[in-house]
Amino acid sequence: MMTVLSFIIAISILVVIHEYGHFWVARRCGVKVLRFSVGFGKPFWSFKDKQGTEFAVAPLPLGGYVKMLDEREGPVAEEEKHQAFTQKTASQRIAIAAAGPIANFLFAIFAYWALYMMGVTGLSPVVGKIDEQSPLVGQVQVGDKILAVGDESITSYRDLSWQLISHIGDTGRIELQIETPDYDKKTVGFDVERWLVGQDTPDPMRGLGLYPRTHTLAIPAIVGEVSPEGAAAKAGLKPKDLILSMNDIAIEDWRDFVKVIRDNAGQTVPLVIERAGQQQTLSIALGERTLDDGKKVGFAGVGFDPESAPEIPPEWLVITRLGPVDALFQGMKSTWDLVTMTLSSLWKMIQGDVSVKNLSGPITIAKVAGSSASGGIESFISFLALLSVSLGVLNLLPVPVLDGGHILYYSIEAIRGKALSEKVQILGVKIGLAMLLSLMLIAFYNDISRL
């Protein structure tokens, strides 16, 4: 219920913001707005204002729309023709179409401004663990602090992750600015060729091989979430079970449990647990998954209990709190960085450097909305800002049926002095719909696969 409610709240907020952008500019251009709907389907609640606009809430919370007076959709009374969308200049129609995505960007700027005013909490980018396979072995030591990726300064592991994501598919050299515990500064780096290309779910942090100090904290092997159809559920595991041993190997930490599971793909192994103070022995038939490198690893369908996770020491955290002006500039920068990263990721997906399996649909969005809401107001606002930028960028793509497609049509009309023929516009809409439906099918397929 938390996931569903968070999804509805998140989508509704962003739909209202996006559609209000269209609505606000349309009214300023003298266009009569017939309906402002949040959700699709037959409205279950609505009212009309003094200007005749119906504000409605419909049951399917996957979007919304602003319906304007339009001669293409039916006859318009002579006395109202001056209020029809089709009677406005090409520049006015471009402004109305662009207003929705622009409203999304403005919301993201405002959201980040508010966050930086309140204070953004992150994990200090101090190295706590180095993989043996890390390309930076010998260059970086435990305790070193990462200051920047290339020329981009970072203050937390979240910043580091975002900067690394922007390098997926790159060829060249990735450099990091490092500060040692003795406050000496140095530049380290490693050469890449189409970095992480070919991986269905590229993990830049794993590719870097550097992890925060939280990886040194012991996580009790207490069961949290159990997938209903997973191996753990079939074996009889329940939330709050304490794992004592598996395959005759003592389990001291959740990571020990994960390692034994991964090392025994497709095997049936004994499992000793403690439940309500009593020890029990179970038998678990592990599933298996194939990683991007072809390696098979075990899978049980079980997660740890977050309530049992250890407290992060306050000195490991960093809080970025800015004044009103600096917060505004940082909000603008964060929004712009997201815009460029989204466009870059889309281009890399077209080139084949990033897998289409990274596309997400409403199921994944709902899950992320639920987890971000449970993480607190800062987490949820950050998620809204990210989703708002994604919505704005995608709607500006020059694909008919999207805002960007309408802007393209009206721009061509402004240059030619006359609109494209109806036949050409209808063909473009058909192509746009086919593209959009294809992307939706891929996103839904990816969502279901992740489940």
User: pLDDT tens digits, residue range 421-431?
Assistant: 888 888 888 88
CB atoms within 10 A of CB 314: 7
Q: What is the mean pLDDT of residues 273-283?
A: 91
| pLDDT tens, residue by residue, 121-161 | 999 999 999 988 899 999 999 999 999 999 899 999 989 98
CA distance 192 to 135: 10
Residue range 218-308 in CATH 2.30.42.10: yes
| More confident call, 355 vs 252 | 252
User: In the structure encoding, which two tokens stand for residue 51, read together?
Assistant: 């200007």
CA distance 364 to 361: 6
| pLDDT tens, residue by residue, 298-340 | 889 999 888 888 888 999 999 999 999 999 999 999 999 999 9
Q: Could you list the active site residues?
A: 19
Residue range 122-215 in CATH 3.20.20.140: no
% pLDDT > 90, the chain: 49
In the predicted model, is pLDDT for residue 354 greater than 80? no
Mean pLDDT of the chain: 88
**pTM for the full predicted model:** 0.81
Q: Where in the chain is the domain with CATH 2.30.42.10?
A: 122-215, 218-308
> What per-residue confidence (pLDDT) applies to 373?
67
| pLDDT tens, residue by residue, 290-306 | 776 677 888 899 998 88
The pLDDT-based confidence of 450 (bands split at 50, 70, 90) is low
| pLDDT tens, residue by residue, 185-234 | 999 999 988 888 877 677 888 888 899 998 888 889 999 888 888 888 99
